[in-house]
Amino acid sequence: MAKSVKRSIFWQGFNVAGIAIIQIVYYALLARILSPKEFGLIAIAQSFLNLATLFSQVGMGPALVQHKDPHDRHLSTAFWAHCGFGIVLYALIYLSAPWIGSFFGSDALAAILPILSVGFLFSSASASSLSMIQRSMDFRYLFMAENASFLAGMITGLTCAYRGFGVWSIVYGTLVQQACLLLFSVYRIRIPLGVAWSTAAFKELFHFGAGLTLIRINNYLTNSGVNLLLGRLMSLNILGLFERSYRTMMIPGKLLGDVIDKVMFPAMSKLQDDEEELSRMYERNLSYSLLITLPLGLWLSLNSEWVVQILLGPQWLKTVPALQILFLAVPVRVTMRLTDSVIRAKGLVYRSAARKFLYTLVLFAGLYWGSDHGLIGLSWVILGASVFQYINMSALAVQRMNMTWEVQWRPFLQAVPSLLLFILPALLFTQFMGDALFLAKLFGTTGTFIAGIVAILIMYRWYPKFLGSHSVELIAIMDRQVKKRTGFSLSRR
């Protein structure tokens, strides 16, 4: 199991890194062509698409992953359920598009929704196959399929954008990406269409899936639902600025969170009856996660200006103060994905849904207040609500898995030495550079990133006890991979 998990983390790490790089380049170029208003428009349209996707899949994909022994009848039944729900919900979106456009005061939105929603049909048809690829931990193929699909979508979107298609460039890019992913997924996992529909299999999957759908409704409200709320309270221009700030903050969280969730959920599901081993795996990976995200989140917060300059361009500099706050939420949002994975692996989806509903109430109440305080107010609300939810979900894990709170706070202490070593060069740099030119700041901040990593590696080589056991374990894993490929080792041994 340990070897399989490490191999899966390796390939899924490459997968999400590749997707993140493609998306960073894609949206960095689009941000220099499209306006904040157009990003605000697509944010609202995508929110409705995400809502339809949520109900069309009714959690059956993850139910296939979590099931102890899924058969062909489970896979076939899940496929037909996805497609049936998908067609019904597409029809609802198509018919309601004029009303939605009128509600938000945008004829363009009414025109975009029916076309963008075609991609939702593609994702419904691919959901079962993708889930089985994940369950088999075939992350090498998933890496090739998802990266090739995103690359095809990026090329399509940028070609359309440069030809003056405006917001439609994102629509067409999304459709191409989802169509390609459908082809890759069904090629790898063929759906046994000859197997008859099984009501018993549907009930098995639906019991878990319905609880997971409740969780996903809360996740939807706290992500895409935020755009709908703010789209009603604020102008499309301000919404576009917030949406790009929020999505920029989500890049490192998605990069690391997707690795954790897609690998650890199936791995933990296989250990769901061994609570002692499950608890050890959870604490170890929580520590690994914090060792990466705590230094990274603080470093990004200190260097938000050049992040905006590179990813969005100078016309988006108004988002810098917001990002300085939002990047502080990266560690808790990533580690929350791990906590959520272990809770789902234990089948506690309904208890998790109740906790997440409370979080949604807190978040929406905060955003209603924050909408009167601009981007800064909204950013503080996101940070505060993220901390609240981490504590909220950690309490559930402790309560239901015979853990102690020590399992939750000990990994934070393990990360402190690495955090200090990594962040010290950045703190010194920001004190001495002042109002230096942009290029000087860019090279300087890049240097602080490298200097922080070098400081940690020097300590690993000469005084590893300072870093703590989990930090040494994590670096040793990477050290072995480097030694296998180059023959060079960081260790003195």
Contacts of 69 (CB under 8 A, 6+ apart): none
Higher per-residue pLDDT: 238 or 30:
30
User: What residue type is assigned to position 490 of the chain?
Assistant: L
pLDDT band at 6 (very low <50, low <70, confident <90, very high): low
Mean pLDDT computed over 189-209: 71
Question: Exposed (0-12), middle (13-18) or buried (19+): which is 363, by Cβ within 10 Å?
Answer: buried
Q: What is the pLDDT of residue 14?
A: 57
Look at residues 119, 178, 169, 188 and name the one whose alpha carbon lies nearest to residue 146: 178
Number of alpha carbons in the 13 Å side-chain half-sphere of residue 381 = 24
Number of alpha carbons in the 13 Å side-chain half-sphere of residue 251 = 24
Cα 80–chain centre separation: 27
Alpha-carbon distance of 471 to 457, in angstroms, equals 11
For the ranges 14-18, 197-201, 218-222, 420-424, the lowest mean pLDDT is seen at 14-18
Q: What is the pLDDT of residue 404?
A: 76
Q: What is the pLDDT of residue 434?
A: 57
Here the tokens at position 140 are 């090498």
Place of tokens 């020097």: 458
Cα 319–chain centre separation: 21
Of the chain, the end-to-end C-alpha distance in Å amounts to 27
pLDDT band at 156 (very low <50, low <70, confident <90, very high): very high
Mean pLDDT computed over 216-222: 69
pLDDT, tens only, 335-380: 887 777 777 776 677 777 778 788 888 888 888 887 777 788 888 9
pLDDT, tens only, 419-460: 888 888 777 776 666 555 566 666 777 777 888 888 888 887
pLDDT, tens only, 252-299: 766 666 666 656 556 666 666 666 777 777 777 788 788 888 888 888
pLDDT, tens only, 324-336: 898 998 888 888 8
With a cut of 80, say whether residue 63 has pLDDT above it. Answer: no
Average pLDDT for the chain: 77
Look at residues 163, 32, 48, 154 and name the one whose alpha carbon lies nearest to residue 94: 48
Where in the chain are the domains? 33-222
SS (H, E, C) the chain: CHHHHHHHHHHHHHHHHHHHHHHHHHHHHHCCCCCHHHHHHHHHHHHHHHHHHHHHHCCHHHHHHHCCCCCHHHHHHHHHHHHHHHHHHHHHHHHHHHHHHHHCCCHHHHHHHHHHCHHHHHHHHHHHHHHHHHHCCCHHHHHHHHHHHHHHHHHHHHHHHHCCCCCHHHHHHHHHHHHHHHHHHHHHCCCCCCCCCCHHHHHHHHHHHHHHHHHHHHHHHHCHHHHHHHHHHCCHHHHHHHHHHHHHHHHHHHHHHHHHHHHHHHHHHCCCCCHHHHHHHHHHHHHHHHHHHHHHHHHHHHCHHHHHHHHCCHHHHHHHHHHHHHHHHHHHHHHHHHHHHHHHHCCCHHHHHHHHHHHHHHHHHHHHHHHHHHHHHHHHHHHHHHHHHHHHHHHHHHHHCCCCCHHHHHHHHHHHHHHHHHHHHHHHHHHHHCCCCHHHHHHHHHHHHHHHHHHHHHHHHHCHHHCCHHHHHHHHHHHHHHHHHHCCCCCCC
Percent of the chain with pLDDT over 70: 75
Q: What is the pLDDT of residue 335?
A: 81
